[in-house]
Structure 1
Amino acid sequence: MTQDHTAPNWPQLADLRGKRVLITGASTGIGAAAARAFGANGARVGVHYNASRDKAEAVAREVEAAGGKAVLIGGDVTKSAEIPRIMAEALSGLGGLDVLINNAGGLVKRVPVTDYDDGIIDGIIDLNIRQVAHFMREAARTLIAQGTGGSIVNVSSVAARIGGGPGSVLYAASKGFISTATRGWARELVKHRIRVNAVSPGVIMTPFHERYSTPEQLVAMQAGIPMDRLGQADECVGAFLYLASETLGSFVTGQILEVNGGQYMP
């Protein structure tokens, strides 16, 4: 199933105009949808990518066509030494930072517990935990130094609530870390007027599921969703806009916002 990239009629939030927004993993899927939506709200968007430069360039063009400004930033987030450089390029290109969307992450590979080895364990930790912690550090230092407050939105997953599907327990656990740490970071940074929240998508049809889930698995997942359908990347974007906006979300921090069609109701 392919995502229709026709630009939705996004709500216009005046306070997002001119905001400096860095989105990791913004070349495809939910990150790309978020980049387009922030662009439509007149934001300056750092479009981060790793291997998918062509797709990132296409997203950047869409951001600009929608009325925003785009800055392309490449780099492998699983290499810790790259992250300060990625952030420095974002700050230079955007002129500072107001919002960080920690979207980069992934399943890596479906592996049953009997086949765990250091490669899969380290790979999941590097992609879903370590790099997020490093970006949190860089963003916190930047926002505290600026003294203007800001918003950080991490990306968790419904898998954190239900333990994941076949072969994805370690991924689910890594997203559980994100949900828990988001609450702790929110408490730690609130005195600096930095709000920290997370969006927790359910089964969203992006390259993630196109790569890791079989048609049979997707049918089984859909059967557990009260709305009886799979989600689309654009359906997650309202949550990011809400949490980034001071007009709408100024009293919201430490929250995990579920976007899952009713699959999990906390």
Structure 2
Amino acid sequence: MTSSSPSRFHQLHLQSEPLRLPNAWDAGSARQIESLGAQAIATTSAGVAWSLGYRDGNQLPVEEYVARARSIARVINVPLSADIEGGYHDNPRAVADSVVRLIDAGVVGINIEDGSADPQQLCRKVEAIRAASIRADVPLYINVRTDVYARNLVPQQEKVSEVMTRAQAYAQAGADGLFVLGLVDAGEMLSIAQSSNLLLNVSVWPGLPPLATLATYGVRRISVGSWLPQTLWASNEQLVRGFLSQDETAPLMAAAAPYAEINARF
């Protein structure tokens, strides 16, 4: 079993401590993240979209995403998971076909979300993806993201039960993991984790308990999401504004990584 195999990626979710995933958006960021000790690489769909000049929100052309995934897989030796938003199509078969292309590019896991759509629609997509992965003889790790919390799809007092209902449906469809974006309450994490066979994934979010405590609440995976490119975007804007309008050059060099150090990573 290689370090980048699907089986290895599954095993990383069963460690004593949750798998930490600092999300990448291109080959360079993925290589840097791996070199700093990440056990796997997951993409941020927002970061990938922005780096290719598209809005986030199912606007990214699949062929460009496949090319990006292939370029990331080329430079890393750990498992690669791709965040594919809602699958970039309403037709389950078309979504599954896109996932097969990502598998061929080196992806061993995916993240797919329900958003504000009917959860049964996502179930049909997951069923099609699972069937396609079986045909491809790849035990793809399917992580299903639900936006019950992030989009406030139901009243607060109904969120846990709604997530549990969706988790059961997603598990029956063939999912491996459950990503509850916006979930930060420790007690609710524990309730959700104990009610489902799916392995719980949470994201860095305002109010999230300390990372070292999350295993206690049943969390198996922690993602960074788009916070890294968002932070770098803000930093780059500050530097460029200073250069263009304030005659500032020193900040451009003050915290720069050495050229040779960056070049040596590749």
Shared fold by TM > 0.5?
Answer: no
Higher Rg of the two aligned structures: 2
The interval holding the TM-score normalised by the smaller chain is: 0.3 to 0.5
TM-score by length of structure 1 reads 0.39
